[in-house]
Chain A
Amino acid sequence: MADGEEPMALDVGSSGDWDGRWRHVQKFLERSGPFTHPDFEPSEETLQFLLETCKILVIGAGGLGCELLKNLALSGFRHIHVVDMDTIDVSNLNRQFLFRSKDVGHPKAEVAADFINSRVPGCHVVPHFKKIQEFDESFYRQFHIIVCGLDSIIARRWMNGMLLSLLVYDDGVLDPSSIIPLIDGGTEGFKGNARVILPGMTACIDCTLELYPPQINFPMCTIASMPRLPEHCIEYARILQWPKENTSIPSLLVLMCLPLYGVALDGDNPEHIHWVFQKSLERAAEFNIIGVTYRLTQGVVKRIIPAVASTNAVIAGTVPSRENTALFAYVPLNNYLVFNDVDGLYTYTFEAERKENCSACSQVPQKLQFPPSAKLQEVLEYLTENASLQMKSPAITATLEGKNKTLYLQTVASIEEKTRPNLCKTLKELGLADGQELAVADVTTPQTVLFKLNFTS
């Protein structure tokens, strides 16, 4: 490590670079080695490609996003876009290091981009203070690689679906130039994972949906009449008491988890949390339950996941290596990495395998098997509860008498009200036939999923 030999002033060349700037990176791009990928050829042009041509999209400017932007910028990537729909919160500051107290309330994507652009000369991060769903194929198609640092499985699945929809098949053969590699990372406390997805070639997000177990909710009867834990008391206040005191809709509908009118509980509003906290304490006192604290209340209401800087740093640190893999379109054997540093440090990589009948990437028609006497409600429950589907609020349409008919749609209140009676009707009553195709739209995918309805006896 040279000491005192460099010029005192920074000699910035015409490209905005200074002497030695990329020396750490260059050794890997310009020198061959015994372990490099079979398609890799050392060349001075690769660095130029990174600097001038390669376009990367980072989704999420939070814990992972900040780390990713820094790592990419210092690895030579100059054309980076970042999408994040959130604004900065105080609780982000323990790990999202591109933000300061003065930035609270401002859009994450914009503040992150500004910081990187000023700290790393020549790097040009373009922010988008938007939801990923606000962009279409033409936006995503421009990128060479997409890296996700999301905190939502729904968003991941949507992204996954979007990239799958970009794939081009010529006579049933996948055109490799239509593949945009997706690198997905996630962290929770001291655990994390990172995976490479080559859409159409390797396992996609939905192929391994069972790796994300569905969220555990406490049974309603426990919350309503048999609380034992402080969490039960908090859920009572959140689910049952709040709507009662803030809307005029009977609690039966609450239990059915149907949309309500009135003031929604806002986890980011300290007054709301405080209200829930007080009510939880009262409930707990009634049953001699100890342990309700403000912190626990917040944690339960907001479903807070603990987070630290170090885990995000580790996972983001693995990503660019995965990118190198992706850049050379090298099918990675071990495409899924898990990390845990609760006890020592533990990493494990394995090959996540494609699911033959994956509802997202397999192109195998999905089946729905129900007797004609089954109610539409049952189909809805299947779509949401089945471990491989895990839809959130599916909208079901069918072609009946030559016309496209919406059987049930939850996300628009007026349509929900109109189609709600269909839930209690049988499939036969709705006019559906054996072999009929049902189109299901859901927030977990940008494309409609087609199901074939098979009547069982």
Chain B
Amino acid sequence: MTMADHKTNKDQRYDRQLRLWGDHGQEALENAHVCLVNAAASGTEILKNLVLPGIGAFTIVDGHRVSGEDVGNNFFLSSDSVGKNRAQATTELLQELNTDVSGNFVEENPDRLLDNDPEFFHRFSLVIAVQLEESTCLRLGSVLWNAAVPFLVCRTYGLVGYMRLVVREHTVVESHPDNALEDLRLDQPFPELTNHITSYDLDNMEKKDHSHTPWVIIVAKYLQKWCREHDFQLPRNYKEKEAFRQLLREGIRKNENGTPEEEENFDEAIKNVNTALNPSKIPTAVEDLFNAEQCENITSQSPAFWVMVRAVRDFVQAEGRGSLPVRGTIPDMIADSDKFISLQNVYRERALQDAAAVSRHVESHLQAVGKLPECISEQDIRLFCKNAAFLRVVHCRALVEEYGVDTVHKDEITSCMDNPDSEMVLYLMLRSVDCFYQQHSRYPGVYNYQVEDDIVRLKLCVHSLLQEYGLTVNVKDDYVHEFCRYGAAEPHTVAAFMGGAAAQEAIKLITHQFVPFNNTFIYNAMAQTSATFQL
């Protein structure tokens, strides 16, 4: 197969996902190397959902030997895997899912690696740990935090799923918000837009042109009229907006009998008055970025994201006159082709101009820290400007802070537990079974004969946990009983759910598109509910 054939084949194979994250997202995926610690079912399900879309490479670290139990709940083990090293056995069956992906394994206990070669983990884009004991998890978390490698912890415990994201700073340019407001600038039209609007003479147009004038023009024209009659104030409240709508209604052409004609573009204008009058202001989330320390102090170490944030801030204070760069897109609207395209071009060209201005600011900052302007491409700057209103930065604090007695998020835990059946109780139970493991070197209720006695022991763990952190909350006995019932089982269906959820978060981290959760996700497979907490 030639290179071109291979590319076409890949385009076809990945077509359905390329429509979600684009070729550049796919490229990021194909350049990534993910490490999985523990090839338990939850882990192999995660990897399956990364191998299928074409992750560059994966490496599994696992010292366990495959048991009969493992084969029972893991799709990537077969009956002749028993006794083999689990990393090796699962790598074979995961690898064959996609020959574009490079699969590797290390037959080693993560604790051993942390003892002898912690820098082993520095090479990865992301480390995912599954079904990992608390002590090892905290050790690994520490190493990865210091190396600024993102860490995703995932576990399936009976009918409960858990994920924790640990990342110092994760920036997102393309968050792809579901319901984005349009950037039409009708409240503060830029000069080219004003000129364009002025070029229309609604009253003296032919009927055909009148009915096919974009609603944006119509609203803009009538806003001009309104402002002249209202001391240059835009319609502010419901009453004024209604009056404005009435003004628009009166603008509809009438036939010889005085009845209004069918002018769908005017109907659109009236329907869109609220949208049109949305103030073009900078979202608070973006203002926060402007005020951040990383934006204020641009150094040669500053990631491209922050250089661009700073450049946009500079733009806002200068050429932008308090506004972000124009986005450059408009929604479809009833209009003839010419009028629509020429209106669209007005916005498009302004967006290009604004992006060029931002580019100049980027250049001057790069120069000031001794870097070449080519470091940040025009394409990246334009993409950044287009998404300026949707920028997101996520910080998920270190595990050591979550576990620290002085730094635990007591208020979050306590207020959630106002409802004793909140998913928060499942988090507390997971922490409690970890305490149990520390004390007894096993999880509660693994064997039938242990269940009854372990309920008592687990309850003690719950108490000591709550005491240690000074949490005055009530953990119902039912949950203690339930977690003993689980016997640390990993039912495949819950593992499969978590496999999908975690894999998507991993893809978000690697592609820097869409927004990852922050920072703890709990899935209750009994009730089929979920919650996200910041711990």
A residues with a Cβ closer than 8 A to B are 1-10, 12, 18-25, 27-28, 30-35, 67, 70-71, 74-75, 90-91, 93-95, 97, 100, 119-121, 189-190, 226-229, 287-289, 295, 298-299, 304-322, 334, 337, 340-347, 349
Q: Assess whether B68 is interfacial by the CB under 8 Å rule.
A: yes
Residues of B within 8 Å of A322, CB to CB, are: 528
**In the complex, which of the residues A22, A23, A299, A334 contacts B528, with contact meaning CB atoms closer than 8 Å?**
A334
Residues of A within 8 Å of B517, CB to CB, are: 344-345
Q: Which of A22, A28, A33, A308 has the most CB of B within 10 A?
A: A308
Residues of B within 8 Å of A12, CB to CB, are: 79
List 4 additional A-B contacts (Cβ < 8 Å) besides A19-B68, A321-B159.
A309-B49, A310-B501, A319-B493, A341-B501
In the complex the two chains form, is A226's CB within 8 Å of B212's CB?
yes
Q: Assess whether B170 is interfacial by the CB under 8 Å rule.
A: no
Residues of B within 8 Å of A100, CB to CB, are: 96
With CB as the reference atom, state the residue of chain B lying closest to A189. B20
**In the complex, which of the residues A1, A71, A120 contacts B493, with contact meaning CB atoms closer than 8 Å?**
A71
- Complex alpha-carbon distance, A288 and B17, angstroms: 29
Give the residues from 471 to 526 in chain B that come closer than 8 angstroms, CB to CB, to chain A: 478, 481-482, 485-494, 496-501, 503-505, 507, 514-518, 521, 523, 525-526
Instruction: List 21 contacting pairs A-B, 8 Å CB cutoff, sorted by A.
Output: A1-B131, A2-B69, A8-B82, A23-B489, A24-B489, A27-B158, A30-B448, A35-B482, A71-B492, A90-B13, A93-B13, A228-B344, A298-B15, A308-B20, A309-B52, A311-B504, A312-B500, A313-B496, A314-B504, A317-B500, A337-B528
Residues of A within 8 Å of B500, CB to CB, are: 309-315, 317
- Complex alpha-carbon distance, A227 and B518, angstroms: 43
A64 → chain B, closest Cβ, in Å?
Answer: 11
Assuming the contacts A190-B504, A229-B332, asked whether A344 and B515 have C-beta atoms less than 8 A apart, the reply is yes
Residues of B within 8 Å of A315, CB to CB, are: 500
- Complex alpha-carbon distance, A212 and B523, angstroms: 27
In the complex the two chains form, is A308's CB within 8 Å of B53's CB?
yes
- Complex alpha-carbon distance, A9 and B507, angstroms: 38
In the complex the two chains form, is A20's CB within 8 Å of B532's CB?
no
Q: Assess whether B14 is interfacial by the CB under 8 Å rule.
A: yes
In the complex the two chains form, is B16's CB within 8 Å of A308's CB?
yes
Q: Assess whether B78 is interfacial by the CB under 8 Å rule.
A: yes
In the complex the two chains form, is A10's CB within 8 Å of B82's CB?
yes
Residues of B within 8 Å of A226, CB to CB, are: 212, 335-337
Residues of B within 8 Å of A18, CB to CB, are: 68, 71, 79, 82
Give the residues from 172 to 187 in chain B that come closer than 8 angstroms, CB to CB, to chain A: 175-178
- Complex alpha-carbon distance, A349 and B295, angstroms: 41
B351 → chain A, closest Cβ, in Å?
Answer: 14
- Complex alpha-carbon distance, A311 and B79, angstroms: 29
Residues of B within 8 Å of A10, CB to CB, are: 68, 71, 79-80, 82
Q: Assess whether B121 is interfacial by the CB under 8 Å rule.
A: no
A293 → chain B, closest Cβ, in Å?
Answer: 11
B residues with a Cβ closer than 8 A to A are 9, 12-20, 40, 45, 48-49, 52-54, 63-69, 71-75, 78-80, 82-83, 96-97, 131, 158-159, 175-178, 212, 332-333, 335-338, 340-341, 344, 448, 451, 478, 481-482, 485-494, 496-501, 503-505, 507, 514-518, 521, 523, 525-530, 532
In the complex the two chains form, is A34's CB within 8 Å of B497's CB?
no
Q: Which of B175, B336, B491, B499 has the most CB of A within 10 A?
A: B491
Residues of A within 8 Å of B74, CB to CB, are: 74
With CB as the reference atom, state the residue of chain B lying closest to A288. B341
**In the complex, which of the residues A8, A310, A317 contacts B507, with contact meaning CB atoms closer than 8 Å?**
A310
**In the complex, which of the residues B68, B337, B489, B518 contacts A28, with contact meaning CB atoms closer than 8 Å?**
B489
- Complex alpha-carbon distance, A369 and B350, angstroms: 55
Q: Which of A9, A21, A75 has the most CB of B within 10 A?
A: A21
- Complex alpha-carbon distance, A288 and B337, angstroms: 9
Leading 5 A-B pairs by shortest Cβ distance: A317-B497, A313-B500, A20-B68, A314-B500, A34-B478
**In the complex, which of the residues B13, B20, B72, B485 contacts A22, with contact meaning CB atoms closer than 8 Å?**
B72
**In the complex, which of the residues A91, A298, A321 contacts B525, with contact meaning CB atoms closer than 8 Å?**
A321
With CB as the reference atom, state the residue of chain B lying closest to A34. B478
Residues of A within 8 Å of B344, CB to CB, are: 228
In the complex the two chains form, is A94's CB within 8 Å of B16's CB?
yes
With CB as the reference atom, state the residue of chain B lying closest to A311. B500
- Complex alpha-carbon distance, A175 and B467, angstroms: 54
A233 → chain B, closest Cβ, in Å?
Answer: 10
Assuming the contacts A9-B82, A20-B69, asked whether A75 and B492 have C-beta atoms less than 8 A apart, the reply is yes
B58 → chain A, closest Cβ, in Å?
Answer: 14
With CB as the reference atom, state the residue of chain B lying closest to A21. B72
- Complex alpha-carbon distance, A305 and B19, angstroms: 9
In the complex the two chains form, is A287's CB within 8 Å of B40's CB?
no
A32 → chain B, closest Cβ, in Å?
Answer: 8
In the complex the two chains form, is B497's CB within 8 Å of A314's CB?
yes
With CB as the reference atom, state the residue of chain B lying closest to A121. B79
With CB as the reference atom, state the residue of chain B lying closest to A346. B530
- Complex alpha-carbon distance, A23 and B68, angstroms: 9
**In the complex, which of the residues B53, B159, B338, B518 contacts A344, with contact meaning CB atoms closer than 8 Å?**
B518
Residues of A within 8 Å of B69, CB to CB, are: 2, 6, 20-21, 23-24
Residues of B within 8 Å of A5, CB to CB, are: 67
In the complex the two chains form, is A307's CB within 8 Å of B9's CB?
no
Residues of B within 8 Å of A312, CB to CB, are: 500
Residues of B within 8 Å of A289, CB to CB, are: 337, 341
- Complex alpha-carbon distance, A33 and B530, angstroms: 21
- Complex alpha-carbon distance, A211 and B515, angstroms: 26
Residues of A within 8 Å of B78, CB to CB, are: 119
A321 → chain B, closest Cβ, in Å?
Answer: 5
**In the complex, which of the residues B451, B481, B504, B530 contacts A34, with contact meaning CB atoms closer than 8 Å?**
B481
- Complex alpha-carbon distance, A321 and B528, angstroms: 8
Residues of A within 8 Å of B515, CB to CB, are: 342-344
With CB as the reference atom, state the residue of chain A lying closest to B421. A35
B167 → chain A, closest Cβ, in Å?
Answer: 14
**In the complex, which of the residues B20, B336, B492, B529 contacts A349, with contact meaning CB atoms closer than 8 Å?**
B529
In the complex the two chains form, is B514's CB within 8 Å of A342's CB?
yes
**In the complex, which of the residues B20, B486, B503 contacts A27, with contact meaning CB atoms closer than 8 Å?**
B486
Assuming the contacts A190-B514, A349-B528, asked whether A228 and B340 have C-beta atoms less than 8 A apart, the reply is yes
In the complex the two chains form, is B528's CB within 8 Å of A33's CB?
no
In the complex the two chains form, is B12's CB within 8 Å of A90's CB?
yes
Residues of A within 8 Å of B63, CB to CB, are: 3
Residues of B within 8 Å of A318, CB to CB, are: 497, 525, 528
With CB as the reference atom, state the residue of chain B lying closest to A5. B67
- Complex alpha-carbon distance, A312 and B518, angstroms: 23
In the complex the two chains form, is A344's CB within 8 Å of B516's CB?
yes
In the complex the two chains form, is A313's CB within 8 Å of B45's CB?
yes
In the complex the two chains form, is B73's CB within 8 Å of A74's CB?
yes
- Complex alpha-carbon distance, A75 and B335, angstroms: 57
In the complex the two chains form, is B504's CB within 8 Å of A341's CB?
yes
With CB as the reference atom, state the residue of chain A lying closest to B72. A21
In the complex the two chains form, is A67's CB within 8 Å of B496's CB?
yes
- Complex alpha-carbon distance, A348 and B40, angstroms: 28
Residues of B within 8 Å of A71, CB to CB, are: 492-493, 496
- Complex alpha-carbon distance, A21 and B488, angstroms: 15
In the complex the two chains form, is B14's CB within 8 Å of A227's CB?
no
A226 → chain B, closest Cβ, in Å?
Answer: 5
Residues of A within 8 Å of B17, CB to CB, are: 94, 306-308
Assuming the contacts A67-B496, A313-B49, asked whether A1 and B64 have C-beta atoms less than 8 A apart, the reply is yes
Assuming the contacts A27-B158, A91-B15, asked whether A228 and B332 have C-beta atoms less than 8 A apart, the reply is yes
In the complex the two chains form, is B493's CB within 8 Å of A320's CB?
yes
In the complex the two chains form, is B71's CB within 8 Å of A21's CB?
yes
Assuming the contacts A91-B12, A343-B515, A349-B528, asked whether A310 and B79 have C-beta atoms less than 8 A apart, the reply is no
Residues of B within 8 Å of A90, CB to CB, are: 9, 12-13
- Complex alpha-carbon distance, A186 and B18, angstroms: 20
In the complex the two chains form, is A295's CB within 8 Å of B19's CB?
yes
Residues of B within 8 Å of A304, CB to CB, are: 15-16, 19
A115 → chain B, closest Cβ, in Å?
Answer: 10
A208 → chain B, closest Cβ, in Å?
Answer: 18
- Complex alpha-carbon distance, A27 and B486, angstroms: 6
